[in-house]
Amino acid sequence: MISKSSPYRWIILSLLFAGTTINYLDRIVLGVLLPEIEKEMVISPMLYGFIVGSFQFTYTIGLLGAGWIIDKLGTKLGYFMSIVLWSLSGAAHGLCRSAWSFAAWRAVFGLSAAGNFPAAIKTVSEWFKVEDRAFATSLFNSGSNISSVIGAPLALLVVLHVGWRWTFVVFGAAGFVLAVFWLVFYKKPNIQRNIGKVDMVAWSLMLRQKQTWGIMIGKALTDPVWWFYLFWTPKYFLDVRGLDIRSMALAIPAIYTLATLMGFVGGWLPRYFLSKGWSVERARKTTMLLSASLLPISAMAVFANDLWLTVVLISLACGAHNSWSANIFTMCSDCFESLSVASVTGIAGFAGGVGSILISAAVPAVLVHYFGYIPVFLLMGFLHPLAFLFVKNLVSYENEGVRS
């Protein structure tokens, strides 16, 4: 078996990066293609909110099952199954004839796409030492931003040649290629269990730990911010700024290019703080506090008159969230034994999904319909600082002296 200090871990990480990129390409392509789709069918803000909500509802439910399945079957088989199913359902969006059929396929897609993060976080916990995990997480998680950088221009290129329906098929097909590569190249490292970590496999035991609740609340309050910007930014640009698909192909990549760079910084900072002799807990939480403090500033995007100032501020929001996300995900592997990392990641993701259904689907649909975008932008600016208070007080590290 290969040691977890082997350079082979970077091959594994590159597969996780590719998986996250493709997973998010399949998620965002609907929003990017919306101007073309609306040439054939009317999708109001309320209907769009329903479509987004159908994905988030099944994605949330799927996280619970995906974490448990991946812990039971292992990352190789569990992740393979998830990739194949989300690619198939993503391609099937090309068959849609109404907003309701989009909602149905988004629901199926959400259920299967939920396997990505439990599998990826579990794999990182197996292959990387604790001081490297946040950076490794930021690297594979950057796929969520890279997909947004390349997604809009790539979708534009494809849709101009084959139309929006076949664009869904092309994007979905990439996942089947990844599934083959995962089966061929994935290998299991030589895992050594660590004395001092919380070794739990039953959800009832996990839910008795305050660390679990701290991570859950942190995810429930902050995941909606990411989903709001991911799903509603194209709609905002279309409704308020009047951008067409060509203009979005410039604005959206600019947002996620900066967000990617900020995510790398958020993954690197804890490692820097650790090199200065800080504890893991202090390094992780300081980085998260710095990230959270940027969100109230970014909410001013809705008041900016200049389009590119709006783009910069939305970039700041997405980048700060990426920095936050790399660290709160890593808390799962900091505080729990590898055997149950996928499960606790799934539980935390479920909490994030519940928050997202309420705060980034239902609430924006109502607020935007009746009051416009200003209230929801302001709401998104203050959720991370609130979440930090819960993380700071509930997530405490024990037995930090033992690192894997």
How many whole angstroms separate alpha carbon 175 and alpha carbon 168?
Answer: 12
Which helix (H) or strand (E) segment holds residue 348: the answer is helix 341-356
Could you give the percent of the chain with pLDDT greater than 90?
A: 24
Greater confidence (49 vs 354) lies with 354
The domains of the chain are located at 2-394
Mind listing the pLDDT tens digit for each residue in 201-247?
Answer: 566 677 777 888 999 999 999 999 988 887 788 888 888 887 776 77
Could you give the percent of the chain with pLDDT greater than 70?
A: 92
Which residue has tokens 């894997």? 404
Sequence-ordered list of residues with C-beta below 8 angstroms from that of 124, at least 6 positions apart, any chain: 13, 16, 133, 136, 137, 140, 330, 333
The dihedrals phi and psi of 336, each to the nearest 5 degrees, come to -130, 150
Closest CA to 228 of 92, 335, 84, 377: 377
The pLDDT of residue 116 is above 70: yes
Residue 5 tokens read as: 């200090």
Helices (H), 186-244: 203-206, 210-236
Helix, strand, or coil (residue 261): helix
The rounded mean pLDDT for the chain is: 83
Most confident residue range from 170-179, 200-209, 300-309: 170-179
The pLDDT of residue 16 is above 50: yes
How many whole angstroms separate alpha carbon 37 and alpha carbon 34?
Answer: 5
Most confident residue range from 30-39, 155-164, 244-253, 268-277: 268-277
Q: Which CATH superfamily includes the segment(s) 2-394?
A: MFS general substrate transporter like domains (1.20.1250.20)
How many whole angstroms separate alpha carbon 219 and alpha carbon 207?
Answer: 15
Q: What is the pLDDT of residue 191?
A: 53
Q: What is the pLDDT of residue 404?
A: 41
Please report which confidence band the pLDDT of residue 3 belongs to, taking 50, 70 and 90 as the band edges.
low
DSSP one-letter string for 114-147:
TTHHHHHHHHHHHHS-HHHHHHHHHHHHTHHHHH
Please report which confidence band the pLDDT of residue 401 belongs to, taking 50, 70 and 90 as the band edges.
very low
Report how far Cα 261 is from the mean position of its chain's Cα atoms.
Answer: 16
DSSP one-letter string for 14-26:
HHHHHHHHHHHHH
Are the C-beta atoms of 44 and 100 separated by less than 8 Å? no
Greater confidence (35 vs 179) lies with 179
Which residue has tokens 């911010």? 225
Tell me the average pLDDT across 36-52: 78
Are the C-beta atoms of 377 and 295 separated by less than 8 Å? no
The pLDDT of residue 38 is above 80: no
How many whole angstroms separate alpha carbon 342 and alpha carbon 335?
Answer: 12
Sequence-ordered list of residues with C-beta below 8 angstroms from that of 222, at least 6 positions apart, any chain: 321, 324, 325, 328, 352, 355, 383, 384, 387
The pLDDT of residue 196 is above 60: no
Greater confidence (396 vs 337) lies with 396
| Least reliable range by pLDDT among 102-116, 120-134, 193-207, 373-387 | 193-207
Residue 83 tokens read as: 């990739």
Mind listing the pLDDT tens digit for each residue in 339-348?
Answer: 677 777 888 8
Are the C-beta atoms of 28 and 150 separated by less than 8 Å? no
Tell me the average pLDDT across 187-193: 64
* pTM of the model as a whole: 0.72
Are the C-beta atoms of 178 and 115 separated by less than 8 Å? no
How many whole angstroms separate alpha carbon 359 and alpha carbon 232?
Answer: 12
Greater confidence (142 vs 282) lies with 282
Please report which confidence band the pLDDT of residue 338 belongs to, taking 50, 70 and 90 as the band edges.
low
Mind listing the pLDDT tens digit for each residue in 130-165?
Answer: 778 888 888 888 887 788 778 777 888 888 888 888
Q: What is the pLDDT of residue 181?
A: 94
How many whole angstroms separate alpha carbon 254 and alpha carbon 260?
Answer: 10
